[in-house]
Amino acid sequence: MKKLMFISLAFLLIAAVAFSGCLGNDDTTEVVIGYQPSTHQMAYTTAKELGWWSANLTPMEEVKSVGDKSFPSGPSEATALASGAIQFAYIGAAPIIPAVAQNNADLKIIAAVQINGSGLVIPTDAEYTDPTYFEGKKIATFPPGSIQDTLLKQWLTDNGVNLSKVDIKGMDSGEAQTALKAGSVDAVFLPHPAPSIIVKAGDGKVILDSGEMSADHACCVLAVSQDFIDKYPDIVAEVVKIHVDATKYTNDNPEESAKYYAKVTGVSEDIIMASISEWDGAWISDPHIIEEYVVAYAKSQYEQGLVPKQLTSEDLFDMSFYDAYVNQK
């Protein structure tokens, strides 16, 4: 009897320890990846449709679940990243800057995603002359702090245009396209595939690609919070690995990747193929390539009074995960 009681107590003790361990060792996390419905971020949709996010991340002991969330533009996505509503963000480089400089969010760019790839579009019957054409006119683009807003304002300023004479309206892509069609704005400056959609519909013409406004400028990046890096470095390393591989796959297989993008976003394959044949963008993953441009955005936003301090590369980048992966290949 005593032996039976001893065995029973031992079993209960082991069970109690195991149960308490489960309660006290909840080191798992959801991994929600933010993205925008733009051909700029096709590496994300490629990896999603190939099943890489789920297949590579779900088996990790620290990962509770894997999901995603679409955003209309960068500023709202940066807020979600800073608040922990999402854990990673495919996002324009520029929206990261006010989140860090103004709102004290500790966010880091861990890889590049793409360069160039936006277009300045006016109605088909309008006659563009030079940048002063936009004085007294309304331009719709993504909200303040976005890549498009930052780049547009810098380009206008560099070309002697008084920004007080231009009415720049912050809108998401759908709103801006509708506004141009309705004639309530005189131009839009949007990322692809929007310029191709507008042209195909006969509602406008591209007068300038963003690479002509700033050659090989940084656009989208992959970002994460420093807090997440500190807690889950292995997850960050795996996400960077997936992104690097997906970027290569997208470059090597653009037609197949266009089909994946169309499936995720609902945009027709014809539009996507037109977009990637007409844009001046390129998919990249090396953050060293864009470092100089992102720091220049930080300077521009500071000079425009959008942020209270000028950020450095150390404030904005953590390239160690990218370097570690490419150096082991």
Q: What pLDDT digit, counting tens, does each position of 221-230 carry?
A: 999 999 999 9
The CATH class given to the 118-213 domain equals: alpha beta
The pLDDT of residue 26 is 62
Query: 240 or 25: whose pLDDT is higher?
Result: 240
The pLDDT of residue 329 is 67
The pLDDT of residue 41 is 96
Kindly report, as residue ranges, where domains of CATH 3.40.190.10 are found in the chain: 30-115+219-328, 118-213
CATH homologous superfamily for the domain 30-115+219-328:
Periplasmic binding protein-like II (3.40.190.10)
The pLDDT of residue 104 is 86
The pLDDT of residue 153 is 94
Q: What is the three-state SS of the chain?
A: CHHHHHHHHHHHHHHHHHHHHHHHCCCCEEEEEEECCCHHHHHHHHHHHCCHHHHHHCCCCCEEEEEEEECCCHHHHHHHHHHCCCCEEEEEHHHHHHHHHCCCCCEEEEEECEECCEEEEECCCCCCCCHHHHCCCEEEECCCCCHHHHHHHHHHHHCCCCHHHCEEEECCHHHHHHHHHHCCCCEEEEECCHHHHHHHHCCCEEEEEHHHHCCCCECEEEEEEHHHHHHCHHHHHHHHHHHHHHHHHHHHCHHHHHHHHHHHHCCCHHHHHHHHHHCCCEECCCHHHHHHHHHHHHHHHHHCCCCCCCCCHHHHECCHHHHHHHHHC
Using one digit for the tens of pLDDT, what is the confidence trace for 155-183? Answer: 999 999 999 999 999 999 999 999 999 99
Using one digit for the tens of pLDDT, what is the confidence trace for 94-128? Answer: 999 999 998 888 999 999 999 999 999 999 999 99
